[in-house]
Amino acid sequence: LMFSIILLSYNSNKNISKVFQHLKEKLEQEMIDFEFIIIDDDSDDNSYEIAFHLEKSEKNVKAFQLSRNFTSHYSIFAGLTVAKGDCAMAIPDDFQIPTTTIIECYRRWEKGGKIIIPFRKSRNEKASIRLFSNFYYWMMNKFSEINFPPGGADVFLIDREIIDLINRRISPKNTSSIVEVLRLGFNPEFVPMKRPASINMKSRWTYKKKLKLAIDTLIASSSFPIKLISKIGLISFLIS
């Protein structure tokens, strides 16, 4: 059984090799066969060159670069199209997901889980970011077809069956991978995790990008915006 790990790379020249070597050591200890797929989101630095060099030196590494900067959600969809494993998981490039959590998700998949979603038990972030995130997940849980775990989630491990469904039937335009995974109707397993305390990196997701994603995913997964617009239109017509 092979585990496809998709590394979401953007200006990651300092982290690519570190993440790979760390995962290689831990997964080999656990005797987990894996492929390491690097999806470079058109970085401004030499991330892709480093990824390509790693591909040449390691037999289980594949490196790809997107034609322009599409954001990480497109990178996930792209990674799934080239993943050959029996299951797959996309991870950020900054060690936000503990290796123990990655391994736990894999072990749960071995026991029959189709969708395993880790989520943070707490969010050690600025108040403004935490407020935005909490409001977004409240809106999604309240008005959309899907339900996020407490505190939300943005990564997942999925079975080959789910990978094939997404590749064949889901368009990546104006949506996110986690939303589409949760909409498929399977019963996900949620795994609580603690974000490593050493993580102290500035987010590359601007408020503009976050707002666009929030609007796109709400519209894509909910009939509420259409109903609201229809009601406003009807009321305006009657008043007129």
> Which pLDDT value is given to residue 152?
78
The SS3 of residue 193 is strand
The rounded distance, in Å, linking the Cα atoms of 157 and 228 is 35
The SS3 of residue 35 is strand
Sheet of 115-120: strand order equals 61-65, 33-40, 2-9, 87-92, 157-159, 115-120, 189-193
pLDDT per position as a tens digit, 3-33? 999 999 999 999 999 999 999 999 999 999 9
Query: Would you say residue 172 has pLDDT above 70?
Result: yes
pLDDT per position as a tens digit, 112-131? 999 999 988 765 667 777 77
Q: What is the mean pLDDT of residues 193-206?
A: 60
pLDDT per position as a tens digit, 53-111? 999 999 999 999 999 998 888 999 999 999 999 999 999 998 889 999 999 999 999 99
Reported as a pLDDT band with limits 50, 70 and 90, residue 209 is low
Query: Would you say residue 194 has pLDDT above 70?
Result: yes
> Which pLDDT value is given to residue 123?
56
> Which pLDDT value is given to residue 141?
73
Higher pLDDT, 35 or 119: 35
Instruction: Among 21-25, 104-108, 188-192, 211-215, name the one with the lowest average pLDDT.
Output: 211-215
pLDDT per position as a tens digit, 96-111? 899 999 999 999 999 9
Q: How far is CA 52 from CA 117, 163, 237, in A?
A: 29, 25, 59
Query: Would you say residue 157 has pLDDT above 60?
Result: yes
Looking at every residue in the chain, the average pLDDT score rounds to: 87
> Which pLDDT value is given to residue 211?
67
Instruction: Among 136-150, 157-171, 180-194, 206-220, name the one with the lowest average pLDDT.
Output: 206-220
| Strand stretches in 68-114, DSSP E | 87-92
The rounded distance, in Å, linking the Cα atoms of 210 and 59 is 36
Query: Would you say residue 2 has pLDDT above 70?
Result: yes
